[in-house]
Amino acid sequence: MQPNSLLVFNFDTFGTLPTNNFIGSNTDQFQFSNVKLVNTSDNPIQLDGPLVLDFSLELDMGIIETDSINIIVLKENARITGANENAYIDGPIEKRGLSTEPIVIPLGKNGIYAPLELAPITDPNSIFRLEFFGDPPPIGGVPPDLDQINEDQHWIIDRIAGAPVDFVMHWQDGQEAGIANMSINSITTVYLDESINEWVNGGRGTVTGSNGLGEAGSIESNLLGDPPPIGAVVVTIGTVSTNSVLPVELLTFNAKKENDNILLSWVTASEINFSHFELERSTDGTEFTKIGSKSAVGGETEITHYNFTDKSPKSGTNYYRLRSVDLDESESISRVLSVSFQQIGAPVAVPNPVREQLLIMGLNQTYNQVKVDIYNASGQVLFQQNMEVNDGRIELQMKEVNINFEGTYYLRIVDDARTHNITILKK
């Protein structure tokens, strides 16, 4: 069978997928790159061992039943497509390795389709097991910052290995999902901390759709401040207390590289008794420092756009987050964004010491012109002029820039993004 071939299974009666022996394991396993399952019977498809997917599984029709042994395993960047209320996974599913894009896991049970979406996974050692349960979650204490906990359904996210990631819970019918009596403006993700037997606010990211009868929607977590521990964790939907409604509704938060800078932009839908934003940066994704702030300019119902430019990003991966601060100093933190940035080396002067002609090399070739200032040891300005950059270089004749005597001189070179300071010695 060719690596990119599609293997189609058609079931019109009760079906069980066979397996072959997996080398190095006592458990049988069926491994493919691309699989399509079509089930026109009234019975679910059952596995007779793990089904490991390298690339894709298309659920055209029908339900697949899994358990802790006979499980579907999605390897790095593998996907499941075509799922719907009549075609989903009833039971656990395992996701291993990287995922460069968000991945939707089509879970469901007893006719309820309830996908769980994972944010991009950057830890290659990650292993997650996910399952949906269409019945009430375990009983836990409700802290003052929370009000309601969904009593009709829940998911389990078992983080076996790797770093935590944010997730999105989807519903197809707000009434069926048990959240129709909740205010869409105050819903949040919650998880049960079994160490204290208490529900914890998992944060509120983007919310889509609505939660009424027959209405579909979704809610994204924001686990940055207090991610759940490794292991199996119950998650569901709750509401925040009326005394702890967040001051701002953040619609989007984005970061991208622009020349030698990182541009941060975000959009809010409402700002109530809101003070300001604080921009924070980290080089390890853990320890953050403030790099700037923006005062609130939005209102209760208007869409407001903001942006901030980081003019001094670090070489390597830069992590950014947005802190929203209310007038009473309550606050919320956005999800973390990462941008890879390759620092352009500092320009150099050759030869140095110099006699007659100096060559400045290593300038950013994005810019065609730079401003050059030259000072003597006393701070007196000898030369100021905009100069053309050719292949990242400029040439300076000592006489033309008024460097006529032996000694130490200071060059300041300014482009649109940053300033470079160079010390030279004239012989």
Tens-digit pLDDT profile for residues 262-303: 999 998 877 878 889 999 998 887 788 999 999 988 776 678
* pLDDT score at 367: 76
328-352: pLDDT as tens digits: 777 778 878 888 776 556 788 888 8
pLDDT, residue 3, reads 45
Q: Name the pTM for this structure.
A: 0.58
pLDDT tens track for 192-210: 999 899 999 888 888 889 9
pLDDT top residue among 91 and 273: 91
Residue 242 — pLDDT band, cuts 50, 70, 90?
A: low
* pLDDT for 9: 52
Which of 144-158, 319-333, 359-373 reaches the highest mean pLDDT? 144-158
Q: What is the band of 16 on the pLDDT scale with cuts at 50, 70, 90?
A: low
Pairing mode of beta strands 274-282, 316-326 = antiparallel
pLDDT of residue 325: 86
Please, where in the chain does CATH 2.60.40.10 lie? 248-341
Cα separation, 251 vs 267, in Å, equals: 5
**Model confidence at 18: pLDDT above 70:** no
Residue 372: the pLDDT is 93
Comma-separated ranges of CATH 2.60.40.3080 domains in the chain? 348-426
Question: In the CATH hierarchy, which fold is given to the domain comprising 348-426?
Answer: Immunoglobulin-like (2.60.40)
For the residues 86-93, what does the mean pLDDT come to? 94
Mean pLDDT of the 146-158 span = 94
Phi, psi of 267 (to 5 degrees): -130, 135
State what percent of residues in the chain have pLDDT above 90. 38
pLDDT in the model for residue 35: 66
The pLDDT > 70 percentage for the chain reads 86
pLDDT of residue 311: 87
Is pLDDT at 310 greater than 60 in this prediction? yes
Most confidently modeled range among 217-231, 246-260, 381-395: 381-395
Contact indicator for 173, 202 with CB cutoff of 8 Å: no
Tens digits of residue pLDDT in 153-164: 999 999 999 888
* pLDDT the model gives residue 23: 40
Q: What is the pLDDT of residues 375-400, one digit of tens each?
A: 998 888 999 999 988 878 899 999 99
pLDDT, one tens digit per residue, over 166-199 is 999 999 999 999 999 888 888 999 999 998 999 9
- What is the average per-residue pLDDT within 201-230? 83
CATH superfamily name and code, 248-341: Immunoglobulins (2.60.40.10)
pLDDT at 1: 41
Segment among 17-31, 82-96, 106-120, 328-342 with least mean pLDDT: 17-31
Q: Which of 100-109, 219-228, 234-243, 316-325 has the highest mean pLDDT?
A: 100-109
Average per-residue pLDDT in the chain?
83
